[in-house]
Structure 1
Amino acid sequence: MSSHRQLMDGVYRYQRHIYDLTRKYYLLGRDGLIADLDPPAGGAVLEIGCGTGRNLIAVGKAWPKARLYGVDISEAMLETAGASVDKAGMANRVTLAQGDACGFDAEALFGRAKFERVFISYALSMIPEWEMALAQAARCVAPGGRLEIVDFGQQDRLPVLWKRLLFGWLQRFHVSPRRELGLAIERLAQESGGFPHSRALYRGYAVRGGLIRV
């Protein structure tokens, strides 16, 4: 955990100040995921890899009766997230905590182990042990709840040169789109119980996936 935390703090120590401004142009599908969350009134929503808090604030605006939680490995990002949440007037609704996506104790961090909605937005592609993080996320989903994911796709229906340039650029930021994400979600659903889903967005630029917990 410590080495990855140090890497993420190093990557985002300065980028965090312009992260939301620059990423809005290419982290596609985030707002669609948020619009689809539809948590029950009073339901708990957890974002794993909450970064600057941008998504949690958007969830709070879209679903004003939801209780919001965010976990991230980077102290630098959490500092920015806390300031953003305060500025948005949501400090009483959002609880932030530091933790490794691959193995955090939600009960210890948040006082609850299960959440009606859990989502991961463009974070699995930055986590070396991403399948462990996926399994951890599924463990946090309450019965009848949902896990939702959006991340970079394989650019299957886009020009080869585009894919080469994008993937080369992403590597500079330690981002690796997960080709096996759809299959991993299916395996996880079989193992943990649930109904999986996965589909490409924007000609393969992004992928949406997740599962409904039974």
Structure 2
Amino acid sequence: MDRMYATQRHIYDATRKYYLLGRDQLIAGLDPPAGGTVLEVGCGTARNLIAAARRWPDARFYGLDISEAMLATARAHVAGTGLSDRITLARADATAVEPRAAFGLEGFDRVFLSYTLSMIPDWEGAIRQGVALLSPDGRLSIVDFGQQERLPRWWRATILGWLSRWHVTPRARLHAAVTAAAQGSPSEFAALYRGYAWRATIVRPAE
């Protein structure tokens, strides 16, 4: 990941804004409680965390990423926005993060994954870990590439072929994996933009 993003991180946000659809809708729907905690798994350049911190000024934000190169850019971006007191970053594996070791917390009110599952080898493990990181009454939110199921065949072939060149694999089993990870807890799944993107949520019931 560090090799991939060593140079790409410098133009990441400028290029991704045109096709990572649904990110801002996810951020607008986070609605953390006052004084709540929000974790982004696979925070990249911290673009989403900065937007979320501005949108929800009463919450505290945390981000993890496996790429130290991306985190270097993220730290610079956070410092440049003056949000270092509200955004904390750490290097960690999405499937095995220990929240107390990484952030000094037991869990989070909101956890979200934005266009990261399609790049994580053990993506189902990342979903299960995301649920495990939730505090009671917490919510996991996901947005990622769908299967382009309601778009023209030529578009589907083109976009999936192009994504594969960048080691991005839209997860065809995402709905089933979300249902399995929920283990009976409330969950939702929806297709966006005719299947260009998929959105999912899992709620951990209050104890």
TM-score (norm 1): 0.95
How many residues matched? 205
Please point out which of 117, 126, 137 is paired with 1:133. 126
Partner of 2:201: 210
Aligned to 1:97: 90
Residue 27 of structure 2, aligned match among 14, 34, 40: 34
Quick check: 1:24 aligned with 2:20? no
Superposed, 1:28-67 pairs within 5 Å as: 28-67=21-60
Question: 1:143, CA displacement in angstroms?
Answer: 0.6
CA shift for structure 1 position 11: 1.1
Deviation, 1:167, is 0.8
Aligned twin of 2:78 = 85
SS at match of 1:37: coil
| Cα distance in 1 for residues equivalent to 2:17 and 2:82 | 22
The match for 1:15 is 8
Matching of residue 197 in structure 1 with residue 188 in structure 2: yes
Specify the code of the residue in structure 2 equivalent to 1:35.
A
Runs of 4+ aligned structure 1 residues displaced above 6 Å come to none
In 1: Cα distance, 2:18 partner to 2:109 partner? 29
The partner residue of 2:107 within 109, 114, 118 is 114
In the alignment, the residues of structure 1 paired with residue 156 and residue 99 of structure 2 have an alpha-carbon distance, to the nearest angstrom, of 37
Code of the residue aligned with 1:187 in structure 2: it is: A
The SS at the match of 1:46 is strand
Shift of 1:147: 0.2
Offset of residue 102 of structure 1: 1.0
The C-alpha deviation readout for 1:25-69, integer Å capped at 9, x for no partner, is 000000000000000010000000000000000000000011000
2: CA distance, partners of 1:179 / 1:212: 22
Distance 1:107 1:179 in 2: 33
SS at match of 1:188: helix
Q: Does 1:166 align with 2:162?
A: no
Separation of aligned partners in 1, 2:52 and 2:130:
18
- Which residue pairs with 1:4 in the alignment? none
Normalised TM-score (structure 2): 0.98
What is the RMSD of the two structures over their aligned residues, measured on CA atoms?
0.7
Give the deviation of 1:194 after TM superposition. Answer: 1.8
Name the SS of the counterpart of 2:85 in structure 1: coil
Distance of 2:87 and 2:200 partners within structure 1: 25
Structure 1 Cα separation of the partners of residues 76 and 166 of structure 2: 24
SS of 2:64's equivalent?
strand
Q: Which 5+ residue runs of structure 2 have no aligned equivalent?
A: none
Distance 2:137 2:97 in 1: 22
Tell me how far 1:10 sits from its aligned partner.
1.2
Q: CA deviation at 1:113?
A: 2.0
Q: What is the letter of the counterpart of residue 211 of structure 1?
A: I
Q: Deviation digits for residues 138-196 of structure 1, max 9, x if unmatched?
A: 10011101000000000000011111111111111110000111111111111xx5211
Q: How far did residue 12 of structure 1 move?
A: 0.8
3-state SS of 1:137 partner: helix
Match of 1:71 among 53, 64, 67: 64
Paired amino acid for 1:26 = Y
Percent identical across equivalent pairs? 59
